[in-house]
Amino acid sequence: MAPINVTVMGGRKDYVPAKETLPEVDAEGNGNGNSAKGYSYETLQETANFLLARISIRPTIGIICGSGMGSLAESIVDAESIPYEEIPNFPISTVEGHHGRLVFGRLDGVSVVAMQGRFHYYEGYPLWKCCLPVRVMRLLGVKTLIATNAAGGLNPTYKIGDLMIVKDHINMMGFAGNNPLHGPNDERFGPRFPPMNKAYNYEYRKLAKEVAKEYNIENIVREGVYTCLGGPNFETVAELNMLKMVGVDAVGMSTVHEVITARHCDMNVFALSLITNECVTSYETDDQANHDEVLDVGRMRQDILRKFVSRLVTRFHQIDNASL
Ligand SMILES: O=P(O)(O)O[C@H]1O[C@H](CO)[C@@H](O)[C@H]1O
């Protein structure tokens, strides 16, 4: 097969697919080129084309709003919103605290798109489907992903309301073979074996710490390791103690697979966890994690989060453009 010119994803100029055709017919795909392991490049291009026809903004930065953190998108000006129900091939949000729409517009003059509502594995979506919007963002021209989430603090020095810059992750679900990239690989999205050792952009993390100083919030900004479990139940004491032993600082039910998908298609990634609860690592307490508390802490921190993330967008945009 002749080399195909590829400039949209991954910055590679051309490639030769390993095989002429990918196996792509099954129950979910109905033989139309969309396998249960993911929608085809062409199908997602159709989704991107639908959005490009509906909106005038051409975003370069994408933001995923975590549970109870949807107000991040309320700082966006000249906003154009599209509910997920109206977007071809998009799943719908079923979790409280996730509105379920894409918001396009500008933050401090930078063109962005925000997901007000993400998709989780426990909602019944396979991981590739949870991450489908990341690939769509990339096809829209987004080069930088800012993923936010609510997480339980496992590091004993963390307090409720702290912001954790994600330095790295442990892909627990991936250990069991559940990975958003599982299945046939289309090189137009990215390589078969993407490296993950520099998943969380070093320059962005450095900038975020500078912005924390500038805004006088360094006392609540941490840096640590995140892990995602499948949910929807919160963890047992034994599970949490095991995670602590292997170096996890914060626990959630999202983000890791989104980051893997984003890195696969060569996006720069920054992730931020809002510590919404202390993980219960002792049997000697009546404390229990609950989603209402998660949403409450999101509300409590919404002003700081909005200011912080808006400033990050500006600073990331500056360094992205400087390195072009
Ligand atoms: O990761 P986000 O979507 O922020 O939400 C976190 O909060 C919810 C539990 O309260 C779970 O969905 C968990 O993943």
The angle, 0 to 180 degrees and rounded to 10, between the axes of the packed helices 41-54 and 132-140 is 60
Secondary structure of the chain in HEC code, one letter for each residue: CCCEECCCCCCCCEECCCCCCCCCCCCCCCCCCCECCECCHHHHHHHHHHHHHHCCCCCCEEEECCCCCHHHHHHCEEEEEEEHHHCCCCCCCCCCCCCCEEEEEEECCEEEEEEECCCCHHHCCCHHHHCHHHHHHHHHCCCEEEEEEEEEECCCCCCCCCEEEEEEEECHHHHCCCCCCCCCCCCCCCCCCCCCCCCCCHHHHHHHHHHHHHCCCHHHEEEEEEEECCCCCCCCHHHHHHHHHCCCCEEECCCHHHHHHHHHCCCEEEEEEEEEEECCCCCCCCCCCCHHHHHHHHHHCHHHHHHHHHHHHHHHHHHHHHCC
pLDDT value for 313:
98
ipTM of the complex: 0.99
pLDDT of residue 179: 97
Show the ligand 1 pocket: residues with CB < 6 angstroms: 66-67, 95, 118, 120, 149-150, 231, 252-254, 291, 294
**Is 67 assigned to a binding site?**
yes
Give distance in angstroms: CA of 167 to centre of ligand 1: 19
User: Domain map of the chain by residue range?
Assistant: 23-281+288-322
Atom number in ligand 1 closest to CA 66: 4
Active-site annotation holder among 80, 99, 122, 300: 122
pLDDT at 78: 95
Residue 107, beta-bridge partner list: 110
The pLDDT value given to residue 324? 59
- Examine the residue annotation and report whether 1 is marked as an active-site residue of this protein: no
pLDDT of residue 6: 42
Q: Say if residue 323 carries a ligand binding annotation.
A: no
Active site residue 323: no
Which residue positions in the chain have pLDDT lower than 70?
1-35, 323-324
Is 150 annotated in the active site? yes
Q: Considering 185, 201, 268, 277, which one is annotated as catalytic?
A: 277
Classified by CATH at the fold level, domain 23-281+288-322 comes out as: Rossmann fold (3.40.50)
Residue whose CA lies nearest to ligand 1 atom number 13: 253
Mutation test residue for ligand 1: of 294, 296, 301, the one with most atoms within 8 Å of CB: 294
Query: 98 labelled as ligand-binding?
Result: yes
Give distance in angstroms: CA of 173 to centre of ligand 1.
16
